[in-house]
Structure 1
Amino acid sequence: MPALVLGPMLRYADSRSASIWVETSAPCTVAVEAAGRAYRSPTFTVHGHHYAIVDLVDLVELGQDIDSYTVRLDDEAVWPLEGRPPSRVRLLPAEGPRRLAFGSCRTSVPHDPAYVLTHGHDVLRAYARALQSPEGKWREGEWPDLLLLLGDQVYADSPSPQMLEFIRARRDTAPRNEIADFEEYAELYRQAWSDPDIRWLLSTVPTAMIFDDHDLRDDWNTSQPWRERMARTPWWRRRVVAGLGAYWIYQHLGNMSPDERAADPLLRTLGEGGDGGGALDAFAEKADAEPGSNRWSYARDLGHTRLVMVDTRCARQLTPGDRRMLDPEEWAWLQEQVAAPAERLVIGSSIPFLLPEGVHGVQNWNEALCDGRWGPLARRLSEAFRQAFDLEHWAAFRRSFEDLARLLVRAGRPVLILSGDVHYSYLARADRAPVHQIVCSPIRNPLSRVLRWANVVTQFGLATLVGAGLARLAGIPRPPFRWRVTKGPWFQNALATLTFPDVVTWYEAAGDGVRRIDSVQLR
């Protein structure tokens, strides 16, 4: 009899429809029963694993909320979980969301005292518990309409001890301490999303996701020399194919609307029967080799807001001397999304657009040296420095930074850029444009106290003093506008909410719930 391996996850949702994603232990028909209706979909198979995504359509006449739903596998009820509140479907208000929650960088380790000491409390789990509590259970003012997960949902290059046990029981080959193939990615996602509180949260709050480097590997696509070195690594091809394939299954599939999935050629192929592992692998290999063959970025109209989730990893152009965060096709797409009518833009970029100004200058300088501005020796040393210290943000792709800065100024609307990656949280604002950078990182993967102080000294102290000077020495022009960090940094594990139109709040774990770190009204 089939069982539920992962899910249900409430993924895409708008004002009329919603999509439920599941992984099952065997082929079956998945039924989601809600408000007296049953919606069904057969599973498809990839590398021996079985998945389905069930679309609940034409829901508008039922109202915004469906108070509970049931999942059946071949008519056997497998959800909801005993002891948890019912999972519900919350459609997005037609006029636009009232609140988004967001964050990034979440390791999946146990919650016992030893791991709490090293990794801190899981704020996503604490947030789930707060929503389940009698005080927070159905309070409309506290519930998010959408949860944005902005990268590093899993750590393929730094598995937990439990994941390493799984790996070592299977093989004794390279990479010994990292994920190697699709089977291990499937277990990595299972461990990340199977905690009962996390599972409940993901079953009842719609989610939108985008990857960052650790979903594949640290420094993924930081530069052309990095790609060339990894291409010579014997196990890398299998890893990148498995990583992108698993990302498509576990994360990207739910980012698409029902209409987009209905037109997707890969999903049609997988639905034709048999094991579709070969088709998924071929797709993933081409997506890595030819980024223009697939688009991981996506956009949604959310009433008053245009949400644009940007792929800042796979779509890079790494040509020395003409590095771009987005290749020409991806850049043209982003220009179209920014030009679309909306009261405001919310851009999800896994890596921050506006870093502390001094760090921005250091990354500008490093890129120029990597391109040979001070000769071959400085180029080689600067490339090593770039990879060692993660100098790979928008500032390290200066041409793309300046292009996007000018585009956002011309947009003439409020722009909120939501990011993670850097393992601290802060708010920055442009001086002469309605552009805000809101960073929330990590959900659960804090820097040590030593590294926190090192970041304060280097990024908010030393870099502030020397960054602009280094950029000028390298002949780099000033950016199109100035900006400054107005709140933060905070280094603890955190999750943030954006309450429309203009309030952002950061939370940390506190007991079985969360407490506010700070709340800011954007000006």
Structure 2
Amino acid sequence: MTVSLRLGPLLRHVGPTTATVWVETDAPCRVRVRVDGHTTATARTFAVHGHHYAVCEIEGLPPGSALPYEVFLEDDRVWPDPTSSLPPSVVRTTDPDASTRLLYGSCHVPTGDTPEGVVDHGPDMLRATARRMAEDPPEGNLLLLLIGDQVYADEVHEPMREHLRASREEGHSSPEGEVVDFGEYAELYRRAWSDPQVRWLLSTVPTLMVFDDHDVRDDWNTSAAWRRAMDELPWWPERVTHGLGAYWVYQHLGNLSPEAREKDPWWNRVRECTGDAGDTVDEFAWRAHEDPDSYRWSHRVDVGPVRVLMADTRCARALGEGDPSDGSRSILGPRGHEWLDEHLTGGPDHVVVVSTVPVLLPPAVHHLEAWNEAVCAGAWGERVRAPAERLRQALDLEHWGAFQYSFAHLAGAVLEVARGERGPAPATVLLLSGDVHFSYMARAVPSEGEAPGTRVTQLVSSPLCNRLPSHLRRTAWLSTTWPFRVAGRVMSRLARVAPPALRWSLEGAPYFGNTIGEVCLEGRSAEARWYHCPNGGPHALPDVRFRSSL
């Protein structure tokens, strides 16, 4: 029987001389990656709940190279696709002396740029980026950061709904229109990443990923009350187990360097399984859910003088209900803060903190979230705590502003880095985010004292393909206006919230179309760009919507 490539190849973690290629196959086999006709790496597939995967680690590559590669399953070449009009996929290694470009975005619903898909969700910026890369191959170091909602497990569309109806037995208890078990997640990822243009992009651009809520479920870990409500649902344990397990297989394993993956005890246990490793992955995922300190999803990548910190702001959350200032409620959890403190230091020319949810929201929303957290904790008495919790969940008040302990901790650390108190001050500290379905830039300075030489900037690019309905755009725009900003500040003060250590405002109006952000870093200089596709369609190339020096 001939083995086929079910998904991939995905080019994941790369270094100056190493690269990782991830694939999913439809049967067990030996996978071989051949680079530039001679350098090879092989791996046997491992199985999880009947699905087969391989992680190939390629070594001995020249720094700063972009070399074509092929994928073989046993002796059959399965990539590149001989019918594709796109250029050959290449393995890109990093060059510590070259400039670096970071592409980033979140919130992607696969539509294939069909007419109805463009009408409902806007043009697909991953597809548009693939077309741009095919026409104008990039130079220097390049990373694609997919920062949340790579899949929508709780808002599936046709034909995924049809697949769920056809595959589930009559009388099942799983919620209609949501994926629950591992096989359903596998199909969801297949549909998200098998579009020919998206597939080629992921095969030729090194990609790092981190989850947000929809990768598991909307508003995941918003609060302790949300968590208790979910624990009462009979299908939730299976859902969160398979959601985290699938994320580990499809997204997280490829984030790790070969050295980090070799030290991962769960990766070693999976490799040691003689049969299907589904039970092992389930055990790991449930433990990560029950005890967030048992596993670290955050990860760091250095590209020459650029440090990228991909932070877990979902699974690691501590959801205490006491005083917001005591650390029992935290967006990173105690281990997450320790990890960020360890790596958020001076030394590099540019430090990039990737948080799926924005650190610096429009100030009015930030103050509203801070007020809500305080009221939920009892600042205005017991009688209003329950209504405040309902408001928190209804309005999705669950970003950094709603975790004041974490916000104050990060703001203080950023200022220490900018002032050179944690090593030589970088040129920039950049906060890259998505989630909110509009794009903007906000420059930050200390609330008190002189601004340091380091430029601190929040950059948000969202969505890749899932634009807001018009009525929600109006609401989001109102949140950026000065009357709402003043009202939010008054509300937070009435709830006795301490003023933030940073002061910021949005530069210009937010943009509500689909975008993919780009940061270009060369020496101590930096420039931000946002690309969009104003005309849409399956062949449109992206234009620069706006750009700014940082």
Instruction: Tell me the TM-score range normalised by the shorter chain.
Output: over 0.9
The question of 1:517 aligning with 2:545 is answered yes
Q: CA RMSD in A?
A: 1.4
Question: Residue 14 of structure 1 contacts residue 92 of structure 1 at CA under 8 Å; is this kept in 2?
Answer: yes
Q: Residue 178 of structure 2 aligns with which residue?
A: 178
Secondary structure at the counterpart of residue 68 of structure 1: strand
3-state SS, counterpart of residue 107 of structure 2: coil
Question: 1:391–1:22: structure 2 CA closer, same or farther, 3 Å change rule?
Answer: same
**Could you tell me how far apart the structure 2 residues matched to 1:252 and 1:96 are?**
27
**CA 1:405/1:139 → structure 2, altered by over 3 Å: closer, same or farther?**
closer
1:55 paired residue number: 57
Q: Which residue does the alignment assign to 2:240?
A: 240
Instruction: State the match for 1:441 in structure 2.
Output: 462
Whichever residue aligns with residue 286 of structure 1, its letter is R
Residue 286 (structure 1) aligns with: 287
1:29 paired residue number? 30
Letter in 1 for 2:547: S
> Which one of the candidate residues 345, 349, 370 is aligned to 2:376?
370
Letter in 2 for 1:504: A
* Equivalent AA in structure 2 for residue 454 of structure 1: T
Amino acid paired to 2:76: E
- Partner amino acid, structure 2, of 1:256: L
Distance 1:339 1:264, change over 3 A: same
Question: 1:348 is matched with which residue?
Answer: 354
Structure-2 change in CA distance of 1:200 and 1:57 (3 Å): same
Question: What is the percent sequence identity of the aligned residues?
Answer: 45
**CA–CA separation in structure 2 for the residues paired with 1:379 and 1:193:** 42
- Cross-structure match for 1:204: 204
Report the CA distance between 1:65 and its aligned residue.
Answer: 2.1
Counterpart contact for 1:65–1:88, Cα < 8 Å: no
CA distance in 2, matches of 1:243, 1:96: 38
Q: Distance in 2 between matches of 1:329 and 1:163?
A: 37
Aligned residue number for residue 406 of structure 2: 400
Local SS of the residue matching 2:178: coil
Q: Is the 8 Å Cα contact of residues 97 and 302 (structure 1) preserved in structure 2?
A: no
Superposition TM-score, scaled by structure 2 size:
0.91
Amino acid at match of 1:427: M
Letter of the structure 1 residue corresponding to residue 459 of structure 2: I
Residues 408-417 or 321-330, more deviating? 321-330
**Counterpart in 2 of 1:95?**
97
Cα deviation 1:461-507 (Å, max 9, x = unaligned): 55313100001111112111211111430000000110013100000
1:191-218 CA distances to partner (integer Å, 9 max, x unpaired)?
0000000000000000000000000011
1:144 is displaced (CA, Å) by 6.2
Aligned partners of 1:425 and 1:488 also within 8 Å: no
TM-score scaled by length of structure 1: 0.96
Stretches (4+) displaced over 6 A:
none
Q: Which amino acid in structure 2 is aligned with residue 157 of structure 1?
A: D
Q: Are positions 1:469 and 2:465 aligned together?
A: no
Q: Which runs of 5+ in 2 are unaligned?
A: 323-327, 419-425, 446-450
Alpha-carbon distance between aligned partners in 1 of 2:355 and 2:128, rounded to the nearest angstrom: 25
Structure 1 gaps of 5+ residues are none
**2:448 is matched with which residue?**
none
Matches within 5 A, 1:99-498: 99-133=101-135, 136=136, 138-140=137-139, 145-171=142-168, 172=170, 173=172, 174-272=174-272, 273-321=274-322, 322-339=328-345, 341-412=347-418, 413=426, 414-431=428-445, 432-433=451-452, 434-460=455-481, 462-498=483-519
Contact 2:300 2:309 (8 Å CA) reproduced: yes
Distance 2:145 2:434 in 1: 11
- Give the 3-state SS of the residue equivalent to 2:502 in structure 1: coil
How far has the Cα of 1:328 moved from its partner?
Answer: 1.6
Secondary structure of the residue that 2:370 maps to in structure 1? helix
Q: Identify the match of residue 507 of structure 1 among 531, 536, 547.
A: 531
1:97 Cα deviation from its structure 2 partner = 4.7
Amino acid at match of 2:180: A
User: 1:106-145, CA deviations, whole angstroms, 9 ceiling, x for partnerless residues?
Assistant: 0123432112111111011011011112xx1x353xx761
Go from structure 1 to structure 2 and tell me whether the alpha carbon gap of 1:469 and 1:251 turns closer, same or farther (over 3 Å shift). same
Instruction: Deviation per CA, 1:340-374: give whole Å up to 9, x if none.
Output: 63222101100000011111111110000110111
Give the Cα separation in 2 of the matches to 1:356 and 1:145. Answer: 29
Hey, what's the Cα distance between the residues in 1 that align with 2:315 and 2:13? Answer: 22
Q: CA shift at 1:329, angstroms?
A: 1.7
**Are the equivalent residues in 2 in contact too, given 1:425–1:490 (CA < 8 A)?**
yes
For residues 443 and 399 of structure 1, the distance between their equivalents in structure 2, rounded to whole angstroms, comes to 31
Letter in 2 for 1:145: L
User: Deviation at 1:306?
Assistant: 1.2
1:458 Cα deviation (Å)?
Answer: 3.2
SS at match of 1:339: coil
CA–CA separation in structure 2 for the residues paired with 1:385 and 1:88: 49
Contact 1:245 1:281 (C-alpha < 8 Å) held by counterparts: yes
For residues 230-279 of structure 1, the C-alpha deviation after alignment (integer angstroms, 9 at most, x for no partner) is 00011000000000000000000000001111222222222222000000
> Is this contact kept in 1: 2:100–2:303, CA < 8 A?
no
Tell me which moved more, 248-257 or 481-490: 481-490
1:21 to 1:139, Cα distance in 2 relative to 1, 3 A: closer
Written as runs of structure 1 = structure 2, the 5 A alignment for 1:1-12 is: 1-12=2-13
Q: Matches of 1:327 and 1:241 in 2, distance apart?
A: 20
For 1:358-413, what per-residue CA distance to the aligned partner results, in whole angstroms no more than 9, with x for missing partners? 11111110000110111222100010000111100000001110111011000123
Contact 2:149–2:215 (8 Å) recurs in 1: yes
Q: Identify which range, 444-453 or 171-180, moves more after superposition.
A: 171-180
CA distance in 1, matches of 2:462, 2:347: 30
- 2 CA distance for matches of 1:472 and 1:190? 48
Could you tell me whether the CA contact under 8 Å between 2:464 and 2:514 is conserved in 1? yes
Q: State the 1:447 CA deviation.
A: 0.5
SS at match of 2:530: strand
SS of corresponding position for 1:101:
strand
Choose 459-468 or 10-19, whichever is displaced more. Answer: 459-468
The equivalent of 2:422 in structure 1 is none
Q: Which amino acid aligns with 2:280?
A: A
- Rounded to whole Å, the distance in 1 between the matches of 2:219 and 2:282 is 22
Is residue 101–residue 496 contact of structure 1 (8 Å, CA) maintained in 2? yes
Is the contact made by 2:112 and 2:124 (CA closer than 8 Å) also made in structure 1? no
